[in-house]
């Protein structure tokens, strides 16, 4: 397995829309394994394939405290969402160091496939529900900062570009 480089906002590749997975083969299992390793290494709660520049509908999540409950969502479809919503503070491995409030449904149910192509259903609330909504946005090419005001978003963009320039020196 290998650590994969994570794209950072405002990289335009983060806005590509992911296509469905059709081949449940060794390459996919390798991708899922690498994504899990990359997520754990970065201390993230979730990672979408879009963030590692693979534009396919693959998400890995671990919202457990012990970091021992990996969840793989391939071709996820949201089949139910609670009417109740609230603002939660979110961060993202593609926008390091930035945390801000985003309105999300309190609970969601999703149907997805695993790396072997088996369909499963996840009924999520709490952190897991927030994370699933956040990662499914990535597959649509949407980064959480797009929910913030244009002023805030531009400030974040400037800060990220400056940090990336300094890291490149």
**Overall residue count recorded for the chain in this entry:** 169
Contact between 61 and Ni ion per CB under 5 A:
no
Output the residue with the shortest Cβ distance to Ni ion.
92
Q: How far is the CB of 138 from Ni ion (least distance, A)?
A: 6
User: Of these, 6, 59, 71, 92, which contacts Ni ion (CB under 5 A)?
Assistant: 92
Looking at beta carbons only, is 92 or 124 nearer to Ni ion? Answer: 92
Sequence-separated contacts (24+) of 9-13 with Cβ below 8 Å: 9/92, 9/94, 9/95, 9/143, 9/145, 9/156, 9/157, 9/160, 10/157, 10/160, 10/161, 11/94, 13/50, 13/53
Smaller CB separation from Ni ion, 17 or 118: 17
Helix (H, G, I), strand (E, B) or coil at 166: helix
- Number of residues interacting with Ni ion: please give it, by CB under 5 A: 1
Say whether 83 is catalytic: no
Strand partners, 122: 110
Determine contact, residues 111/25, Cβ cutoff 8 Å.
no
Between 92 and 139, CB nearer to Ni ion: 92
Q: Are strands 119-125 and 107-113 parallel, antiparallel or unpaired?
A: antiparallel
Nearer to Ni ion, 92 or 160 (CB): 92
Which segment (54-62, 88-96, 114-122, 125-133) binds Ni ion by CB under 5 A? 88-96
Catalytically active residues, by annotation: 135
Q: Write out the residues near Ni ion by the rule CB under 5 A.
A: 92
């Amino acid at each position: 397995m290998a650590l994969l480089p994570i794209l950072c906002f405002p990289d335009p590749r983060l806005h590509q829309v992911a296509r469905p997975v059709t081949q449940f083969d060794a390459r996919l299992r390798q991708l899922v394994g690498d994504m899990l390793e990359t997520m754990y290494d970065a201390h993230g709660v979730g990672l979408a394939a879009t963030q590692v520049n693979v534009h396919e509908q693959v998400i890995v999540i671990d919202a457990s405290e012990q970091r021992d409950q990996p969840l793989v969502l391939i071709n996820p479809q949201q089949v139910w969402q609670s009417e109740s919503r609230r603002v939660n503070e979110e961060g993202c491995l593609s926008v390091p160091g930035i945390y801000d409030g985003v309105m999300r449904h309190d609970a969601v149910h999703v149907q997805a496939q695993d790396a072997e192509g088996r369909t499963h259903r996840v009924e999520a609330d709490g952190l897991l529900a927030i994370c699933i909504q956040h990662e499914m946005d990535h597959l649509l090419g949407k980064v959480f900062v797009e929910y913030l005001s244009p002023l805030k978003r531009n400030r974040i963009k400037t800060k990220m570009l400056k940090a990336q320039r300094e890291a490149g020196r």
